[in-house]
Amino acid sequence: MAATRVITAATQPTSCFLSKRAFLLPAKTSSCGALSFNRRRAALVLKSKKQRPFSCTAIYNPQVKVQEDGQSETLDYRVFFLDGSGKKVSPWHDIPLTLGDGVFNFIVEIPKESKAKMEVATDEDFTPIKQDTKKGKLRYYPYNINWNYGLLPQTWEDPSQANSEVEGAFGDNDPVDVVEIGEAQRKIGEVLKIKPLAALAMIDEGELDWKIVAISLDDPKAHLVNDVDDVEKHFPGTLTAIRDWFRDYKIPDGKPANRFGLGDKPANKDYALKIIHETNESWAKLVKRSVDAGDLSLF
């Protein structure tokens, strides 16, 4: 049976795209840069092999339901997101990225102190969360991850764009990852309000895979940390531990260690915000079909 739980996701002010000035949406519409769409999804003719309706709406409902289909740690397990009317929505495309004032939505894929490799299925309709597989088998990290891990909605690391600041590495074709350092273990599919603190430029088999280090606003220490130096002061050793964890987790499987750009050091908050802005712009091009979506689902 499918289990349904309700999570709260703040959605005002909201937009599909970041801008210097946040704004409120009218009750039944959502803005997408220069394009405006009704809440009813606009059907467009797509160029991809799969003919799918396309929308750049952002949820205008303070509650998002999470529906778990199937048994956890099985190939069929999926975590779907539902709007207030019970319709499926995409956690990647339909939950707004920015809430204004430097606050962003973060979707938990992997709770801290767990090792099942959960991820948004970017090639499936409505992009539910599922457990990653390799050669038909469920994937697990070799040891627990020590922080809540997930994605920033409405971001995309473009695999056709080389980053001149990080060894010319190309994006990994996924949303941007977040490592949330708060004390609480969160649930799969939980939507948290976070503030970014730092960024790590991981290079995984030649692909750029940004890790945004952040903290949930409801964490007891959230008021103490606002930038990378604050993390070192109030969470000593955490940034090094995050880097080392992601550098080494593939070694037990016989693969080489991952590498990090930017001098092997975490970048500050401003740089993290720059990365978020750039990948949000890349996502905008993706959903507007300015770039080839390949097998990615756009709803």
Q: Token digits for 140?
A: 């697990």
Cα-to-chain-centroid distance, residue 203:
17
> Under 8 Å CB-to-CB from 49, ≥6 apart: which residues?
none
d(CA 43, CA 49): 16
Q: Which of 60, 140, 141, 271 is catalytic?
A: 141
| Cβ neighbour number for residue 87 with a 10 Å cutoff | 11
Q: How far is CA 281 from the centre of its chain?
A: 14
Q: Which two tokens stand for residue 291?
A: 């770039």
Residue 76's closest CA among 5, 124, 112?
A: 124
3-state secondary structure of 269: helix
Strand ranges in 217-267 using DSSP code E only, listed in sequence order? 259-260
Cis peptide upstream of residue 266 (ω within 30 degrees of 0): no
Q: What span, in angstroms and rounded, lies between the C-alpha atoms of 194 and 78?
A: 25
92: amino acid identity, one letter: W
Burial per residue of 41-74, b for 16 or more beta-carbon CB atoms within 10 angstroms, e otherwise? eeeeeeeeeeeeebbbbbbbeeebbbbbeeeeee
Catalytic residue list contains 77: no
Q: What are the φ/ψ torsions at residue 27 (nearest 5 degrees)?
A: -60, -30
Tokens 């992601």: give the residue. 246
Which residues are tagged catalytic? 141
